[in-house]
Amino acid sequence: MKTLLLDGEALTGIAMVYLHLILAFSLVAFGYSQDVELQQTTTNYAYKETTESMRGVMENHKYESSLQRALAWLVTQREGNWGWRNDTPKVLTALTLAPQEVAAALLPTTLEMQLSFKQMEVEVVVLLWRHHEVPVTPPKLSQYCLALNALCYDPRQFHGHDLIGTLQHHETVQDLEFAYAILAACSARAHIRKRPIRRLLDIANTAKDHNIDTVAMTILALRCIVKDHRHRNLQHTLRRPSINLARQQQPDGGFGNLYNTALTLQALQDMNEINNHWNRTAARNYIESRQDPDGAFTDPNLTAEVVLALSDRGLGAIRNLDCGKFDSDDENHVDIDGLAKSFSTHGNDSEIRNVTITYTLWVGSNVTENSTISLTAPRNTSFYNVMQMAMDLDARFSFEASEWPNGHYVHTLAGYKEEPMGYHYWLLYRLPELPDPTAPPANQLVAPVGVDDLLIEEGDHYLFWYKKL
Ligand SMILES: *[C@@H]1O[C@H](CO)[C@@H](O)[C@H](O)[C@H]1NC(C)=O
Ligand SMILES: *[C@@H]1O[C@H](CO)[C@@H](O)[C@H](O)[C@H]1NC(C)=O
Ligand SMILES: *[C@@H]1O[C@H](CO)[C@@H](O)[C@H](O)[C@H]1NC(C)=O
Ligand SMILES: *[C@@H]1O[C@H](CO)[C@@H](O)[C@H](O)[C@H]1NC(C)=O
Ligand SMILES: *[C@@H]1O[C@H](CO)[C@@H](O)[C@H](O)[C@H]1NC(C)=O
Ligand SMILES: *[C@@H]1O[C@H](CO)[C@@H](O)[C@H](O)[C@H]1NC(C)=O
Ligand SMILES: *[C@@H]1O[C@H](CO)[C@@H](O)[C@H](O)[C@H]1NC(C)=O
C-alpha cells in the first residue's frame, strides 16, 4: 500500500499543533468537566427514558424509525474520550448529516459535538505526526477530510496544513480508494484535473469489471465533479453508468451486502430520472431488515454508512452543504472575497465605532487578587490587541504568550505562569456583566475561541482567571 509523505517543516508544525491541541483539549475537558458530567448524566438519563419509551412505542405501534434507532445506538457507542475508536470521522459525518428534525432528541448536544470534534482533531494530528510508524493511508485521510468538510471546516487549512494536498500528492492504485480520495478532494472544492476524471470515467464505463462498491463510489465522485461548472459538460456521461449500477439490484432488494447497498443508495440519491430501472423502497427494506435488535447494523462503521444511506443527505451532499461560505453551485463565477468585501463597505455595519469593555484579572480559586480596567477601542478589535493596550496602560496587565500556528496562547499574566503539573491555568471568560468574586462565572462562559479570534463588542466584560482545575 502506498503511503503519504510529509516534509520535515510540516512535521515540526504538526508536532507543535499537537502539543497545543493536547493542552487546549485538556483545558476544555477540565474546564468543562463539571458541566459535562452534569450534562452527560442528564443526557444519559434522558436517553434512557427515551429508549424505554421507545421500546414501548416500538412494541405497541412501531412508530420508531430504523434511522432513529441506528442513531441512538451510535450515540451509545461513544467512548470516554468523546470519540468512536477507529470510526470517529465516519460517525461524526453521519451524525452531522442526519436529518435533525427526526433525530433532535437523540443527537448529542452542541457541546458534546464540540468535544467529539476536538477528539477528531487530536486523532488527525496524531495520525500525521506518527506517519513514520503507522503509515497514513488515503482512505483514512479521505474519511477525515470528508468529516471536516461535513462539519464546515476546510481540510485544506487544517491548522495550517493542507490535508487535501497531502491526499492528492500520491496517486492511489486501488480504484475504490482512488474514487474515495477524489470524492474527498472534490467535496472540499479542490480543483480536479482531467487525468483523474478520465480514470473515473473509465471505471464507470467498464462497470462489469469492477465491484459494486467501486462503481458506486465512482459515481459519487463523478456526481460531485459535475457540480463544478467547469465540468458540467460531463453531466450526460453519468446516466448510463448509473442505470447499469441500478440494474445490479438483486431480487432481495439489496446489492449483495449491506455496505454495497448503503453505498449504492447514496450514489443514486435524488436520481429520480432512473427510478424505473430499480426499486429504491426495496433497497431500503433490504437494509432495514438487517438491523440488529439494539438498533445497530453490525458495527459503528457500517451503522454510520447506513445512516448516511437512509438520511436524505449522504456523502454526495457534502460539497453543497450550506456552511455560510459558498453560494451553492456557482462559487466559481463570483469572487467570494470581493463580494463579501463590497457588502461590508456598502453596509453601514462597517462604520468604525468605538466600544467600551472591561477587562478583569483574578488570581486564585478563592480570588485573592483582582484588577479591572476599562478600555475603549474600535469594535471588532481582537481581544489580543486589547490585552496589549491594557499592558501599555497598566503594568498589572502585563502578559506573555507563545505563538502557535493557530494563534497566541497566553501562559503568563500579572507574573503568574500556568502550571500544568499543578493544574493551574489561566481561563478566559466573556461575560455579560462585571464579574463578582462572590458569584463566580460558570464554566460555560469560558470564551469559545482563542484571544486572536475573540472580537470585542459593546458591553463585553472579559475575565482572565488563574485557577486550579
Ligand atoms: C469500514 O468499512 C469499510 C467497508 O467494509 C472498510 O473498507 C473500512 O476499512 C472500515 N473502516 C474501519 C475503520 O474499520
Ligand atoms: C418496490 O418494492 C416494494 C417492497 O418490496 C414493493 O412493495 C413495491 O411494489 C415495489 N415497487 C415496484 C414498482 O415494483
Ligand atoms: C449609511 O451611512 C452613511 C454615511 O455614514 C449615511 O449617509 C447613510 O444614510 C447610512 N445609511 C443607512 C441605511 O443608515
Ligand atoms: C464586526 O464583526 C461582525 C461579526 O463578525 C460583522 O458582522 C461586522 O460587520 C463587523 N464590523 C466591523 C466594523 O468590522
Ligand atoms: C477557599 O475558601 C474556602 C472557604 O472560605 C476554604 O475552605 C478553602 O480552603 C479556600 N481555598 C483555598 C485554596 O484557599
Ligand atoms: C479587589 O481588589 C481591591 C484592591 O485592589 C480590594 O479593595 C477589593 O476588595 C477587591 N475586591 C474583591 C471583590 O475581592
Ligand atoms: C476611538 O478610540 C480611539 C482611541 O482608542 C480614538 O483615537 C478615536 O478618536 C476614537 N474614535 C471615535 C469615533 O470616538
- pLDDT, tens digit (0-9, with 9 covering 90-100), for 108-141: 988 999 999 999 999 999 988 887 777 889 999 9
Is the residue at 5 inside a domain?
no
Tell me the pLDDT tens digit for each residue of 223-262: 999 998 889 889 999 999 999 999 999 999 999 999 999 9
Residue 1 lies in a domain: no
pLDDT tier at 22, thresholds 50, 70, 90:
low
Q: Are residues 51 and 198 in the same domain?
A: yes
- Residues making up the annotated binding site for cyanocob(III)alamin are 213, 257, 409-410, 426-428
pLDDT of residue 461: 93
From the CB of 259, is ligand 1 less than 6 Å away? Answer: yes
User: Which ligand neighbours the alpha carbon of 346 most closely?
Assistant: 3
- Compute the distance between CA of residue 292 and CA of residue 286 in angstroms, rounded to an integer: 13
Last residue of a domain, one of 345, 361, 378: 345
Same domain, 382 and 341: no
Which residue's alpha carbon is at the smallest distance from atom 1 of ligand 5?
366
Q: What is the CATH number of the domain that holds 439?
A: 2.170.130.30
Expressed in angstroms and rounded, the spacing between residue 365 Cα and the centre of ligand 5 is 8
273 assigned to some structural domain: yes
Residue 259 lies in a domain: yes
Average pLDDT over the chain, rounded to an integer: 82
Residue after which a domain boundary falls, among 321, 345, 369: 345
Q: Is 137 in the pocket of ligand 1 (CB under 6 A)?
A: no
The answer to whether residue 409 sits within a structural domain is yes
Question: How many structural domains compose the chain?
Answer: 2
How many A from CA of 294 to the centre of ligand 2?
A: 27
* Cβ of residue 235 lying under 6 Å from some atom of ligand 5: no
Ligand 7 geometric centre to CA of 360 (Å): 22
pLDDT of residue 362: 96
Q: How many A from CA of 302 to the centre of ligand 1?
A: 8
Compute the distance from residue 58 Cα to the ligand 1 centre, in Å.
31
Q: Ligand 2 within 6 A of 277 CB? A: no
Do residues 359 and 335 both lie within one domain?
no
Give the structural domain span for 204.
11-345
Tens digit of each residue's pLDDT (9 = 90 or more) over 195-208: 999 999 999 999 99
373 shares its domain with 447: yes
> Strands 461-468 and 354-363: what pairing?
parallel
Percent of the residues in the chain that have a pLDDT greater than 90, as a whole number? 58
Residue 240 resides in a domain: yes
Are 143 and 119 part of one and the same domain? yes
Domain shared by 369 and 322, yes or no:
no
208 and 234 share a domain? yes
Residues 133 and 263 in one domain: yes
Which has the higher per-residue pLDDT, 272 or 343?
Answer: 272
Q: For the chain, how big is the Rg over CA atoms in Å?
A: 25
Please check whether residues 268 and 417 belong to one and the same domain.
no
Q: For position 268, which CATH number holds? A: 1.50.10.20
Report the nearest atom of ligand 4 relative to the CA of 344. Answer: 9
Q: Which of the residue ranges 44-48, 215-219, 253-257, 360-364 would you say has the lowest mean pLDDT?
A: 44-48
Split at pLDDT 50, 70, 90, the class of 39 is very low
Ligand nearest to the CA of 364: 5
Q: Is residue 162 part of a domain?
A: yes
The answer to the question of residue 217 being in a domain is yes
Assess whether 110 and 219 both reside in one domain. yes
Q: For position 14, what pLDDT does the model report?
A: 54
pLDDT for position 75:
95
pLDDT given at position 350 = 45
- pLDDT exceeding 70 applies to what percent of the chain? 80
Q: How confident is the model at residue 44 (pLDDT cuts 50, 70, 90)?
A: very low
Distance (Å, rounded) from C-alpha 138 to C-alpha 186? 14
Task: Specify the residue with its C-alpha closest to ligand 3, atom 2.
Answer: 348
Among the residue ranges 322-336, 371-385, 428-442, the one predicted with the least confidence is: 322-336
Measured in residues, the chain has a length of 469
pLDDT in tens, 49-79: 444 444 433 433 333 699 999 999 999 999 9
| Same-domain check for residues 111 and 69 | yes
* Whether residues 422 and 335 fall in one domain: no
Residue 90 has pLDDT above 70, yes or no: yes
Q: Of the ranges 20-24, 115-119, 303-307, which one carries the lowest mean pLDDT score? A: 20-24
**Last residue within a domain, chosen from 329, 345, 361:** 345
For range 400-421, the mean pLDDT: 87
User: What integer pLDDT is reported at residue 15 of this predicted model?
Assistant: 52
